[in-house]
Amino acid sequence: MPRDTLADLADEALVVLYAHGDPDAARLLAGRLLPRVLGYAGRMLADRAEAEDVAQEAMLRLWKVAPEWRQGEAKVSTWIYRVVANLCTDRLRARRRRRAEALDDVAEPADGAASVVAGMIEADRMAALDQALAALPERQREAVVLRHIEGFSNPEIAEILQIGVEAVESLTARGKRALAALLSGQRAALGYEEAE
Amino acid sequence: MMDDLDDLLAGASRALVQPSEALVARVLADAADLQARPVWVAAVVPRAGWLAGLAALFGGAGSLVGVGSAAVVGLFFGFVQPDGLGAVSDMWAVGSVDQVDLMPQLDVLLAEE
C-alpha cells in the first residue's frame, strides 16, 4: 500500500496491516506512538534510559499482539498507555525495593518538595514541572500526566489505569492541587512574575 | 497559581519528546524480527462471519451450496406439483402402503431366536 495512503489510516488499521506483513506500517506506528509513550514513561520514571527501555518493551508487546488485534475492540493508544503504566509501576516498585534495601538504616527525606524547590533555582519551567510531578504520589502523577499532558479523557484514563471514572476525577483533582502547592511560591522561577 | 499551572501543563503537552535514532532503530528491528518469522502471517486469524460459521457447520462452502440448492428444489416441487410427478410416483409405488414398521418391537426379535 502506498505510504501516503497508509498515513491516513488509524492506528488500529496500521496494526492489522503490520500483522499482515506491511513493512511501512511499523515505521508509521513507531513514528506516531514512540514519542508519546517515551514522554509518558519519562515523566513517570524521571529517568531517560529507563523510559527508553519501557517504550521499547511496550512497542515490542504491540508487535507481538498485532496478529490477534481486533479492530473496534480497543484503541491502540489506550492499550499501549496501559502497558506503559504497568511497566512503570513495576519499575517504580523495584526501585523502591532496591532503595529500601540499600538504605535500610538511613532515614528517607521527609518530603520531596524541598528538593523540588532547590532544583527549580536553575531549572527551566519544564524541568521544574517534571520535578514537581516526580514528587507526587504515583497514582496522582499518572492521572495528572494522562489528563493534562497526554490529553486523554477521564473514561480513557479509567481504562488505562483500570480504575473507575470517579477515582480518576479524584486523583486528577488531588494531584493538581498538590502540584499547585509544590509549585506555589516559585512563580519567579517559573517565569510568571512579570505577568502579575 | 492554577492558571499558571494550566499554562505550564499545556506547554508540557505541546513539547513532544523526540526518541533517539538508536531507540527508533531498536524498535523497528524488533518489529522486523517478529514480522520475518515464518509463522507470523499464518498466525493472523481473520474474524469469521456468521456465513463462514454456517459453512463450517456443513463441512465447507461447497456442501452448504449443495444443501441449499436441494432445499430450494424441494420447495419448488412442493409448490408447483409438476404434471406427471404423480404418475411417476404411482409407477414406483406398488399398491398402497398403510404402515411401515421401522422399529420392530423387541418381542418379535425374541420370538425369532
Domains defined for chain A, CATH in brackets: 1-108 (1.10.1740.10), 110-196 (1.10.10.10)
- Residue A109: DSSP 8-state: P
Is B30 within 8 Å of A151 when comparing Cβ atoms?
no
Tell me the CA distances in angstroms from A6 to A12, A26, A158, one per residue in order.
Answer: 12, 11, 30
Mean pLDDT to the nearest integer, A17-27: 91
* Residue A78 and residue A155 in contact, taking contact as beta carbons nearer than 8 Å: no
CA distance A107 to A141: 24
| Three-state DSSP state, B87 | helix
CA distance A184 to B40: 54
Higher per-residue confidence, B71 vs A3: B71
Which of A52, A67, A126 shows the shortest C-beta gap to B15? A126
Interface probe, candidates A38, A68, A144, A187, chain B, greatest B C-beta count within 10 A: A38
Is A184 within 8 Å of B1 when comparing Cβ atoms?
yes
pLDDT 10s digits, B15-43: 778 999 999 999 999 999 998 876 555 45
For residue A148, the model assigns a pLDDT of 94
Give CA A81 to chain center in angstroms. Answer: 7
* Rounded percentage of chain A residues whose pLDDT exceeds 70: 81
Is A187 within 8 Å of B4 when comparing Cβ atoms?
yes
Q: Is B19 on the interface with A (CB under 8 A)?
A: yes
Q: Of A31-45, A136-150, A160-174, B51-65, which range is least confident?
A: B51-65
For residue A118, the model assigns a pLDDT of 47
pLDDT 10s digits, A149-195: 999 999 999 999 999 999 999 999 999 999 998 888 666 666 665 44
CA distance A68 to A190: 47
Mean pLDDT to the nearest integer, A81-105: 87
The minimum CA-CA distance between A147 and chain B, rounded to whole Å, is: 10
The three cell numbers locating residue A189 = 522561577
CA distance A116 to A114: 5
For residue A63, the model assigns a pLDDT of 95
Run of H or E including A14:
helix A11-19
Q: With a cut of 60, say whether residue A83 has pLDDT above it.
A: yes
The residue whose grid cell reads 492506528 is A11
Indicate if ipTM > 0.90: no
